[in-house]
Amino acid sequence: MFIIDAHLDLSMNALEWNRDLTQPIAAINAREAGLTDKPDRGLGVVSLPELRKGNIGLVVATQIGRYVAPDNHLPGWHSPQQAWAQTQGQLAWYNAMEDAGGMVQINDLASLENHLQLWADGEDKLNKPVGYILSLEGADSFVDVSNLERAYMNGLRAVGPAHYGPGRYANGTDATGKMGANGLELLKEMERLNVILDATHLCDDAFWQALDNFNGHVWASHNNCRALVDHNRQYSDEMIKALVDRGAVIGAALDAWMMVPGWVRGRSTPKGMNCNMEVMVNHIDHICQLAGNALHVGMGTDLDGAFGKEQCPYDLETIADLQKVPELLKKRGYTDTDIDNMMHGNWLRFLRNAWK
């Protein structure tokens, strides 16, 4: 089955983790043997060959560059200009992948439909370019709002104003507080340019404020359910219903700490916490029950988003194992149409509506 994954930090892995994503995942992991600078060394699950193997032909791929003030102890850059430069280096990597024929940017309806035809032509997928929609995770790298139009001209089509902690345009996970004037200005400019608002990571205050002040298209690229894992990173039932009312699609994430309650980073193990892909379906099913249908959920795995096999379902060896999900959904009683929608159709409907 053709699959769309709405959240992968590909350029971050390439440039900060120094992973050559054109290589098989086994080769990437073997080259990292003995390294300890990152918690997931030798445990990665994502590469371009694995995406092709899993028939994951279209992804939403991120740029990310956080600014941190002197009193912010999160990792990040010490000026917005440095953060902007980081995202431009990431853009250069995507461009290099395009030059090599390994990826292709999808930024409008024509490029979307052409790419879907290419992946449905019945030919071998091993040499096909993986399509990517460019998204910015956290808007800190915009030195000012005028950077958005410049980024749009380079293909940026979705923005999540916040990531972790306090941000320059919005507060994110583990922070509180509403957007200031510049955050509201950013939303206005996003609406003018028809840039999708990614509500992921917005703190509760900013989430509700953003929905009240943004009239464009909204999705949540990678989010799970607060009712199942009680943390501000997840969506409450009220938030999920508000997104459904806006026509949003919510991507189901495969980060173990977001899947099962009580996860302790560095100590818990997927098998010890009984975290398998069936747990992902619990979150999917919860959203479907709130929505009353299967039209508002997709895949948004966040795999290799600064974690690897040590913190993802134990029955997933690589991202190609997303092909196991349709059977799990079928066991829960979802129809073939429901499953098609959740694996790709809901994201396609959303994009066709946003870009028509």
Query: What is the average pLDDT value for the chain, to the nearest integer?
Result: 97
Tens digits of residue pLDDT in 136-176: 999 999 999 999 999 999 999 999 999 999 999 999 999 99
HEC-encoded secondary structure of 117-148 = HHHCCCCCHHHCCEEEEEEEECCCCCCCCCHH
Q: Strand 297-299 vs strand 250-252: parallel, antiparallel, or unpaired? A: parallel
Tens digits of residue pLDDT in 132-144: 999 999 999 999 9
- Residues 106, 33: contact at Cβ < 8 Å? no
Domain 3-355: state its class.
alpha beta
Give residue 79's pLDDT: 97
- Cα–Cα distance between 248 and 321 in angstroms, integer? 26
Helices (H), 154-276: 181-193, 204-213, 237-245, 256-259
Token output for 49 = 């060959």
Give me the phi and psi of 341, to 5 degrees please.
-65, -45
Tens digits of residue pLDDT in 283-323: 999 999 999 999 999 999 999 999 999 999 999 999 999 99
Share of the chain above pLDDT 70, in %: 100
C-alpha to C-alpha distances, 227 to 117, 198, 236, 254, 295, nearest whole angstrom: 39, 21, 6, 16, 20
- Cα–Cα distance between 325 and 341 in angstroms, integer? 12
Token output for 93 = 């990597």
Q: Is 80 helix (H, G, I), strand (E, B) or coil?
A: helix
Give residue 300's pLDDT: 98
Confidence of residue 347 (pLDDT cuts 50, 70, 90): very high
Give residue 171's pLDDT: 97
The whole-model pTM stands at 0.97
- Cα–Cα distance between 316 and 5 in angstroms, integer? 15
- Cα–Cα distance between 285 and 322 in angstroms, integer? 17
- Cα–Cα distance between 305 and 153 in angstroms, integer? 26
Burial code (b: 16+ CB inside 10 Å, e: under 16) for 246-267 equals bebbbbbbbbbbbbbeebeeee
